[in-house]
Amino acid sequence: MSHTMEWKTRLYLFEEEGTTKARATIDTGTTVLTGHGTARRNPADPDVPEIGDELAAGRAMRDLSRQLLDIAERDVEGIGAPRPDPAVGWPV
């Protein structure tokens, strides 16, 4: 059985008082999830905005991925499947 979906993801970055903030959203068509991440530059470090963007964005996407994995784990349990053995099954 073939299954094709399109989920829309957006990533927003902004800087506020020396802190880079990121918000990542994913819209599955039935659910919208939001992940958040921040990055603060040590005053002794060089000012390289791209690094703050990468850190904040990565942290927001990691937060979003954790939420997706939590939902998947609950869904697996909801269909009566036992918790997966880390060595086999669905590695969530």
Residue 12 maps to a domain: yes
Domain coverage including residue 46: 8-78
Q: Over the stretch 1-15, which tens digit does the pLDDT of each residue have?
A: 899 999 999 999 999
Q: Over the stretch 28-61, which tens digit does the pLDDT of each residue have?
A: 999 999 999 999 998 898 989 999 999 999 999 9
Residue 85 maps to a domain: no
Mean pLDDT of the chain: 90
72 and 78 Cβ atoms separated by less than 8 Å: no
Rounded CA-CA distance 63/72 in Å is: 14
Residue 1 maps to a domain: no
More confident position, 73 or 89: 73
In eight-state DSSP terms, residue 29 is S
Residue 90 maps to a domain: no
23 and 35 Cβ atoms separated by less than 8 Å: yes
- In 3-48, which residue ranges form alpha helices assigned H by DSSP? none
Residue 65 maps to a domain: yes
Q: How many domains does the structure of the chain reveal?
A: 1
Residue 45 maps to a domain: yes
pTM: 0.82
Q: What's the token pair of residue 7?
A: 């989920």
Q: What is the CATH number of the domain that holds 24?
A: 3.30.160.240
Residue 25 maps to a domain: yes
Rounded CA-CA distance 30/20 in Å is: 30
Rounded CA-CA distance 43/20 in Å is: 14
In eight-state DSSP terms, residue 2 is -
